[in-house]
């Protein structure tokens, strides 16, 4: 596959167009982080409000990834991705036009919906590539798309500086943020008119039932209910944070009302799950061993995505401000041309560029995680080793302080970044191999838990400090490595030339986790 990677024909064209769609959704999703301190100064926001906006940016991605996953399985990735890209212009313009904290909070909550785009491409890539290539294909999609976070942190401050003449010499962050949404919407139209869901002659398989994931055992049903509660809990945690002092986006009564609505959502979600799996639960339906999968394995992948992508979300959101506040950057700024020294964001631009080393590695780390999973011969042990690496990386980052040389701090950051991003690639080398026709829903569940991790980690950060955040993420990753070593199972057909039961030319069926439940 690698020798044809830069080809722009057939399935490689679809891969490139799809990762670029993901890239644009990430540029939009993270277009606030590079300007956090600048916007805070201009709109007179408290530090707690800026941190809370980072949490808002992740919150609605949790339910959105579940909903997008169901829409994806029903309508296909072409339509779903195109609409999501065109929708991105709304929260981008809302952020660009915001005048106070409340308006920013609403716009960033809406922006969280755009962050659900990742799920769509997982299914698209799974339709066009074989199981034996799944790791590298999904890694390239995820890694090169995730590079959008680097694009936001590195390029947007520069765009804001170079267009500062529109804003009387000040940083033109409003133009930079609005520009990302306009580009995404234009590409949404292009994507709709230039891709197709499956290769010619291949049928796009849809779940037999919609509204919830169809599981194959009673134990898996209850595991799914617990998993759903975890996502509701993360939203409740956000509501609590929005009510706290110095925030006051919600009143105490509004927080309680939000909790009540979330409880209602959980009850409705549980009812839909019961409705879809009713025959199984009352004993009228059983599944053959070849049809079963364990939701417990999905739950483990949710955990691996918490410690990989969840930590990445948290770090990308806080790292520019962390470098700016931890290190004295004036000597670096003084080395820049006079034009940069006179801009209001010169120091922030440098901090953003330094912090951008973290998402920059996505170009190679996430694909390499998938490639290692393909070549190592065991997706289980690849995931275990990478999870341990994440833990070591963040525990090292815990000790970064102002006495460190900046190059050493960057090196430790990149070490942690490599393993976290490789963990994302290793996770999604497994996800499409569980049950292909439900890939959207499963990917949505796993992806939503990445945002769960981001919300929880950023809440911890908003209440404590960066060293505490790094140590928490490191310890969680070591626990995950232990669980993968003892409980994660190797997917059946992980390295096959085609999906189980199909000829290589027309691969349409699904390798699954064998289960003895």
Reported as a single tens digit per residue, the pLDDT across 96-127 is 999 998 999 999 999 999 988 888 998 899 88
The predicted structure's pLDDT at residue 395: 96
Q: Which DSSP letter does residue 212 get?
A: S
Rounded Cα–Cα distance for residues 176 and 386 (Å): 36
pLDDT at 13: 93
Q: What percent of the chain has pLDDT over 90?
A: 36
304, 387 contact by CB (below 8 A): yes
Q: Each residue of 320-372: pLDDT tens digit?
A: 778 878 876 554 444 445 544 444 445 566 776 677 777 778 788 888 888 88
Over residues 120-165, the pLDDT tens digits come to: 998 899 888 887 788 888 888 988 887 887 778 778 878 887 777 6
Q: Which two tokens stand for residue 216?
A: 């194959």
Scanning 193-217, the segments in alpha helix (DSSP H) are none
Residue 42 and residue 49 in contact, taking contact as beta carbons nearer than 8 Å: no
**∠ CA 134-150-59 to the nearest 5 degrees?**
80
Confidence of residue 449 (pLDDT cuts 50, 70, 90): very high
- 230, with CB counted inside 10 A (0-12, 13-18, 19+), is middle
Half-sphere exposure of 60 (CA within 13 A, CB side): 15
For residues 155 and 40, what is the distance between their CA atoms, to the nearest angstrom? 20
287 Cβ neighbours under 8 A, 6+ residues apart: 216, 217, 280
For the chain, helix, strand, coil in percent to 5 are 75, 0, 25
CA-nearest of 460, 446, 508, 506 to 68 is 446
**pLDDT for 240-252, tens place per residue?**
888 876 677 788 9
Tokens of 507: 């691969």
Would you call 400 helix, strand, or coil by DSSP? Answer: coil
Percentage of the chain with pLDDT > 70?
Answer: 87
Please enumerate in sequence order all residues whose Cβ is within 8 A of that of 141, keeping only pairs 6 or more positions apart, or say none: 15, 18, 19, 22, 121, 122, 125
How confident is residue 515, by pLDDT bands cut at 50, 70 and 90?
A: very low
Asked whether 265 and 227 are in contact (CB, 8 A), the reply is no
Q: What is the mean pLDDT of the chain?
A: 83
Whole-number Cα distances in Å, 210 to 170, 409, 452: 51, 48, 24
> What is the chain's length?
517
Taking 50 as the threshold, does the pLDDT of residue 507 lie above it? no
Four-way CATH pick for 2-196+204-506: 1.20.1250.20, 3.50.50.60, 1.10.3210.10, 3.90.1570.10: 1.20.1250.20
The answer to whether the CB of 324 falls within 8 A of the CB of 508 is: no
pLDDT at residue 502, as a whole number: 53
CA–CA separation, 457 and 504 (whole Å): 43
pTM, full prediction: 0.78
pLDDT tens digits for range 269-323: 999 999 999 999 999 888 887 778 888 889 999 999 999 989 988 887 788 778 8
pLDDT reported for residue 397: 93
Cβ proximity of 178 and 401 under 8 Å: no
Q: Given a cut of 90, is residue 184 above it in pLDDT?
A: yes
Average pLDDT over residues 372-386: 86
pLDDT at 448: 86
Lowest mean pLDDT among 183-192, 262-271, 285-294: 285-294
Query: For residue range 210-235, what is the model confidence (pLDDT) as tens digits?
Result: 778 889 899 999 999 999 999 899 88
Q: How far apart are CA 54 and CA 56, in angstroms?
A: 5
Average of per-residue pLDDT across 257-280: 93
Instruction: Note the pLDDT of residue 301.
Output: 95
pLDDT (0 to 100) of residue 338: 52
- Residue 327: which of 436, 383, 406 has the closest Cα? 406
The burial class, CB within 10 Å (0-12 / 13-18 / 19+), for 461 is buried
Average pLDDT over residues 389-399: 95
pLDDT at position 500, please?
A: 55
Average pLDDT score over residue span 64-74: 85
The token pair that represents 177 in the structure block: 């943020």
Considering only CA atoms, give the Rg of the chain: 22
What is the reported pLDDT for 270? 94
Quick: pLDDT tens for 4-44. Answer: 667 777 889 999 999 999 999 999 998 988 888 888 888 98
Q: What are the DSSP calls for 120-176, one per residue?
A: HHHHHHHHHS-GGGHHHHHHHHHHHHHHHHHIIIIIHHHHHHHTGGGGTTS--HHHH
Q: Is 38 in contact with 167 (CB distance < 8 Å)? A: no
Of residues 478 and 126, which shows the higher confidence score?
A: 478
Hey, which bits of 247-286 come out as E strands?
none
**What residue spans define the domains of the chain?**
2-196+204-506
Flag whether pLDDT at 58 surpasses 90: no
| Cβ–Cβ under 8 Å, residues 80 and 72 | yes
**What is the structure's pLDDT at 158?**
80
Q: In this model, does residue 499 exceed pLDDT 60? A: no
């Amino acid at each position: 596959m690698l020798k044809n990677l830069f080809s722009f024909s057939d399935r490689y064209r679809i891969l490139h167009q799809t990762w670029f769609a993901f890239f644009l959704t990430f540029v939009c999703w993270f277009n606030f982080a590079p300007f956090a301190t600048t916007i805070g100064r201009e709109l007179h926001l408290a530090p707690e409000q800026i941190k809370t906006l980072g949490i808002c940016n992740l919150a609605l991605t949790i339910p959105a990834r579940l909903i997008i996953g169901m829409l994806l399985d029903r309508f296909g990735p072409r339509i779903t991705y195109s609409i999501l890209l065109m929708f991105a212009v709304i929260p981008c313009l809302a952020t660009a036009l915001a005048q106070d904290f409340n308006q920013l909070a609403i716009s960033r909550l809406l922006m969280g919906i755009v962050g659900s785009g990742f799920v769509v491409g997982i299914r698209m890539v799974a339709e066009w590539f074989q199981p034996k290539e799944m790791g590298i294909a999904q890694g390239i999609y995820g890694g090169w798309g995730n590079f959008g976070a680097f694009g936001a942190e590195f390029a947007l401050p520069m765009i804001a500086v170079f267009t500062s003449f529109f804003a009387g010499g000040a940083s033109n962050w409003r133009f930079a943020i609005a520009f990302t949404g306009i580009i995404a919407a234009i590409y949404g139209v292009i994507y709709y008119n230039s891709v197709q869901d499956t290769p010619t002659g291949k049928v796009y398989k849809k779940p037999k039932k919609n509204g919830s994931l169809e599981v194959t055992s009673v134990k898996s049903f209850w595991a799914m209910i617990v998993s759903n509660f975890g996502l509701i809990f993360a939203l409740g945690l956000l509501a609590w944070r929005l009510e706290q002092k110095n925030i006051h986006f919600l009143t105490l009564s509004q927080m309680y009302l939000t909790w009540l609505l979330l409880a209602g959502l959980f009850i409705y979600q549980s009812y839909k799950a019961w409705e879809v799996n009713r025959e199984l639960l009352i004993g009228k339906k059983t599944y053959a061993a070849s049809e079963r999968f364990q939701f417990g394995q999905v739950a483990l992948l949710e955990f691996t995505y918490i410690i990989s992508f969840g930590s990445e979300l948290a770090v990308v959101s806080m790292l520019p401000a962390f470098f700016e506040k931890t290190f004295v950057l004036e000597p670096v700024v003084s080395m820049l041309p006079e034009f940069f020294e006179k801009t209001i964001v010169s120091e922030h631009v440098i901090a953003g560029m330094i912090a951008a080393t973290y998402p920059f590695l996505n170009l190679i780390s996430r694909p390499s995680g998938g490639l290692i999973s393909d070549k190592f011969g065991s997706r289980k042990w690849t995931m275990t080793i990478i999870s341990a690496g994440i833990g070591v990386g963040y525990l090292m980052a815990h000790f970064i302080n102002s006495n460190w040389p900046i190059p050493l701090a960057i090196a430790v950051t990149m070490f942690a970044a490599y393993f976290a991003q490789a963990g994302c690639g290793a996770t999604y080398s497994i996800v499409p191999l569980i049950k292909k026709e439900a890939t959207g829903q499963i990917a949505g569940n796993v992806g939503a838990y990445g945002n769960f991790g981001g919300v929880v980690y950023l809440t911890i950060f908003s209440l404590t400090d960066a060293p505490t955040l790094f140590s928490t993420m490191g310890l969680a990753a070591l626990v995950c490595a232990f669980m993968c070593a003892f409980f994660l199972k190797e997917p059946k057909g992980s390295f096959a030339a085609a999906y189980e039961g199909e000829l290589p030319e027309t691969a349409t069926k699904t390798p699954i986790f064998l289960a003895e439940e």
